[in-house]
């Protein structure tokens, strides 16, 4: 027994090595290497278990690496998180605010480092090539959030190299056609997504999808990132047949291998809230800024010639306004009649 091992229980200022667990997350025929020290459930409530592997036979197919480190003692409980309403913009008047403490980021030639205090505390380090991602967090919820964020970053970069672009949306498919719902965060995309699945549509994803322009068509495909229950800000009434949007084992049944299949986009719906009854109307003009923002939420947008050509192709899709009442039963009936 060496001296360090003999007295390790009495030495508090020396670091002791701790092992990280290893898993592989499959995307198409590629893999993301995941190193983590959290409970396995954090992974399985973030990415469909059907696409998570302990070992793989093709290490050459690894497209990126994510490391998630959980340390409950690194971030102290300095404020009451219950005072934060999900989705709200924090100001200095908010109870959570601490004088002179702000979210910060640093940039070097190779890395971007984020130090977050609000609304949750964590550190993440992103390699600019988007092939490596490290996050240090204080609880399981942030571990899952950062894992999903890292997956989106790596897959978005991988796809962008193939002229396939990310889109902040929810999307479903039926009879070989894809239907896209373009809306902001906390706007009910997941609830709409789950209600449509409950009524016979197949999932693409509730928050991110990948699209390309080819042969005068827009093709879209998904990724088996799991959904999370969040309060929307529009006071919508859930459908009687609403599929509970909790993160639990039932989510693993939602995605199958066809989540990676490309589907031709039939219609892009733009939800609009506050109507007495639900209906669908044609758009006179498309807000190109809103569309570009949806393409840049999950990845750094590079507006090269190929992207410009692709976005012009996306604009040829059928865009329709989805005028929504506050009753999802009414909304779903309206969508089913139109699709």
pLDDT tens-digit series, residues 6-17: 666 666 667 777
Q: What is the mean pLDDT of residues 293-322?
A: 91
Q: What is the pTM of this model?
A: 0.89
Q: Express each pLDDT in 271-295 by its tens digit.
A: 988 899 999 998 877 888 889 999 9
Q: What is the pLDDT of residues 87-121, one digit of tens each?
A: 777 888 888 888 888 999 999 999 999 999 888 89
The pLDDT tens digits for 195-236 are 899 889 999 999 999 999 999 999 999 999 998 655 444 444
CB 298 within 8 A of CB 152: yes
Q: 153-169 as b/e, with b when 16 or more CB fall inside 10 Å?
A: bbbbbbbbeeebbbbbb
Q: With contact defined as beta carbons under 8 Å apart, do 321 and 281 qualify? A: yes
Region 12-24: mean pLDDT is 84
214-220 contacts at long range (C-beta below 8 A, 24 or more positions apart): 216/313, 216/316, 217/264, 217/265, 218/264, 218/265, 218/313, 218/314, 218/316, 218/317, 219/262, 219/263, 219/264, 219/265, 220/167, 220/171, 220/178, 220/180, 220/262, 220/263, 220/265
Burial 10-45 (b: 16+ CB within 10 A, else e): eeeeeeeeeeeeebbbbbbebbbbbebebeeebbbb
């Amino acid at each position: 027994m060496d001296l360090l091992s003999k007295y390790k229980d009495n030495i508090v200022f020396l670091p002791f090595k701790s092992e990280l667990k290893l898993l592989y997350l499959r995307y198409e025929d590629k893999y993301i290497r995941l190193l983590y020290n959290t409970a396995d459930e954090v992974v399985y409530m973030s990415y469909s278990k059907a696409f998570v592997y302990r070992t793989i036979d093709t290490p050459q197919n690894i497209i990126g690496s994510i490391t998630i480190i959980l340390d409950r003692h690194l971030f102290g409980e300095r404020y009451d998180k219950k005072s934060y309403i999900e989705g709200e913009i924090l100001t200095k008047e908010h109870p959570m605010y601490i004088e002179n403490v702000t979210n910060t980021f640093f940039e070097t030639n190779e890395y971007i480092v984020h130090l977050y205090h609000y609304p949750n505390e964590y550190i993440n380090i992103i390699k600019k090539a988007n092939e490596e991602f490290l996050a240090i967090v204080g609880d399981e919820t942030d571990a899952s959030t950062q894992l999903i964020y890292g997956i989106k970053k790596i897959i978005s970069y991988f796809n962008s190299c193939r002229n396939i672009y990310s889109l902040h949306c929810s999307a479903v498919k039926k009879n070989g056609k894809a239907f896209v719902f373009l809306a902001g965060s906390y706007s009910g995309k997941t609830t709409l997504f789950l209600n449509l699945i409950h009524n016979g549509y197949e999932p693409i994803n509730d928050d991110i999808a990948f699209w390309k322009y080819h042969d005068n068509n827009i093709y879209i495909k998904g990724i088996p990132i799991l959904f999370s229950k969040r309060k929307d800000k529009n006071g919508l009434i859930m459908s009687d047949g609403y599929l509970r949007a909790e993160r639990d084992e039932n989510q693993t049944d939602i995605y199958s291998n066809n989540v990676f299949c490309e589907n031709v986009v039939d219609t892009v719906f733009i939800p609009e809230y506050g109507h007495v009854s639900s209906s669908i109307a044609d758009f006179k003009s498309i807000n190109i800024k809103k569309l570009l923002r949806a393409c840049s939420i999950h990845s750094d947008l590079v507006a090269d010639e190929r992207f410009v050509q692709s976005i012009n192709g996306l604009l040829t899709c059928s865009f329709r306004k989805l005028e929504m009442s506050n009753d999802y039963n009414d909304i779903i009936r309206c969508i089913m009649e139109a699709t």
